Amino acid sequence: MTESVTIARQYAQAVFEIAKESGALDIWSERLQCLAMISEDPEIPKILGNPALSRRQVVETIVSFTGEAAGNEEFVSLVSVLLENGRFGVAGQISEVFEQLKDADAGVKEAVIYSAFPIAKQPLDQLLKQCESHFGSRLRPRLEIDKSLIGGVKIVVDDRVLDVSVRGKLDAMDAALKKN
């Protein structure tokens, strides 16, 4: 797993530099997300392993699945290099690392929001706004369900934790009572 992340990071860094230089970060983000979905399709190994298809035909087939024009040389080159090096399977990780690089470049941090229950969009947006002022950074939320919290939320950004969950308050009360 660690090795594939290291490999993905190299590809993501190269793509990020190309995308940033050309001012196409969002376009490349969409391309890589699409490529990641394609790489997870259970039919892809059949295409990759089909001896009747040349490497060029496989590349053209993959590119056609993305909706990209075959004339997009940089994207076609990426797909070709991934296939040639047997790295098409790390497309999902390349996309993830690319998003991390993009967020870091824009000053956006990931906020993992743990909640006992799903949170609707509007309350989540309000919570996010409050968290951004608390943490002093733009945040991209990732919601995780944790029934043990009972209620409320626990938010983790980098190594900082804001715990306003019922479980957190009970634990704090327990610790305070044990001190006395």
* Residue 70, pLDDT score: 63
The backbone region for 142, taken as left when phi is positive above 0, alpha when psi lies in -120 to 50, beta otherwise, is beta
| pLDDT by 10s per residue, the chain, length 180 | 568 889 999 999 999 999 999 999 999 999 999 999 999 999 999 999 999 999 999 999 999 998 876 668 899 999 999 999 999 999 999 999 999 999 999 999 999 999 999 999 999 999 999 999 999 999 999 999 999 999 999 999 999 999 999 999 999 899 999 986
Query: Can you state the angle between helices 73-84 and 55-66, rounded to 10 degrees?
Result: 130
* Residue 5, pLDDT score: 86
> C-alpha distances in angstroms, 124 versus 95, 130, 139, 143, 144?
25, 10, 12, 9, 12
Quote the CA–CA distance of 136 and 134 in Å, as a whole number: 6
Domain ranges (residues) in the chain: 2-103, 107-179
For the chain, what is the total number of helices (H) and then of strands (E)?
A: 8, 4
Q: What is the token pair recorded at 8?
A: 């993905």
Does domain 2-103 match CATH 3.40.50.150? Answer: no
* Residue 68, pLDDT score: 77
Q: What is the token pair recorded at 172?
A: 């704090």
Instruction: Please name the amino acid found at residue 24.
Output: A
| Residue 114: strand pairing partners | 144, 154
Q: What is the pTM of this model?
A: 0.74
Residues 140, 109 contacting (CB under 8 angstroms): yes
Residues 11, 82 contacting (CB under 8 angstroms): yes
The position carrying tokens 């295409």 is 47
CATH architecture of 107-179: 3-Layer(aba) Sandwich (3.40)
